[in-house]
Structure 1
Amino acid sequence: MLISIMLNGKKVVDDISPDMTLFKFLRAHGCYSVKCGCETTNCGLCTVFLDEKPVLSCAVLAARADGHKVETMEGLQKEAEEFGRFIADQGAEQCGFCNPGMIMNAIALFREKEEPTDEEIKQYLAGNLCRCSGYEGQLRGIHAFMEYRKNGGATCGK
């Protein structure tokens, strides 16, 4: 089955098996930020943007992405690095397991909500398994990043 996907701004055409997941397609095309920790849609590591919306790539067939736009962290490097610094600053990337999904969903949150409430933040991050930090560091990082953006990119208090 021949499919065409706009992957991180580049057109990718490939002949795939009908049962290939988007996760496996992305890994086969060098998107190593996309990880799969559970294969049951419970960890959030495989989160990517499909037409600007976060989806779990382990639960989407690659054929469903035919003709659509897919973005991974490789394609969102600038946004991911900018926000990722705030997560690291709060000690929330202890093992790094949850970072890909956490960052992708935080980017989706920031694109959709100017000033999200704690409840909205928790809803966006609900599908991301964090093994070691208890999510408090991520929440602090998100608040620090929102303050940074509110101040026009100037770090508050530094």
Structure 2
Amino acid sequence: MKSISDVIEKHLKELIEASGAVEIKRVELAEAFRCVPSQINYVIQTRFTVERGYLVESKRGGGGYIRIQKIRPAAASLLKEAYDAVGEAIDERRALDFVDRLQEGEELTSREAAMLRRLVSREVLALPVELRDRLRARLLKAAMLTLMAEGGEAHDV
């Protein structure tokens, strides 16, 4: 007999297979499988990792959700490494280096790279430095999430 974790994993994978991503509410899923919400957390944390080819995003609060997306295999390593390295804030030079690296790795077309370079530029982000660097990091991460999502459809950061 399969464990409840196996059954939950199979269910989520079927949903992801059908649409490329799934958005769930932990409590609702726990009720459907008659288990505690921490069981859902366990399944997501152990079976839907970047190493296994999944991107997990969560939003807490009353309207909170957990979104699980399949990562394009070829892009996973380079993009995950770049995503983690960006951090909470990034200066223009480092951001442009990341864009160049993604273009060299053929994760961005020349047009996409040019657009992203312009978006992270000092001229476009005409804000105080501390805000500008944080916004630049969020923009880069949003772009990378889109690139990591299978089919190129990521959602809000």
The normalised TM-score by structure 2 is 0.29
The normalised TM-score by structure 1 is 0.29
Q: Which has the larger radius of gyration?
A: 2
Give 1 or 2: higher helix fraction. 2
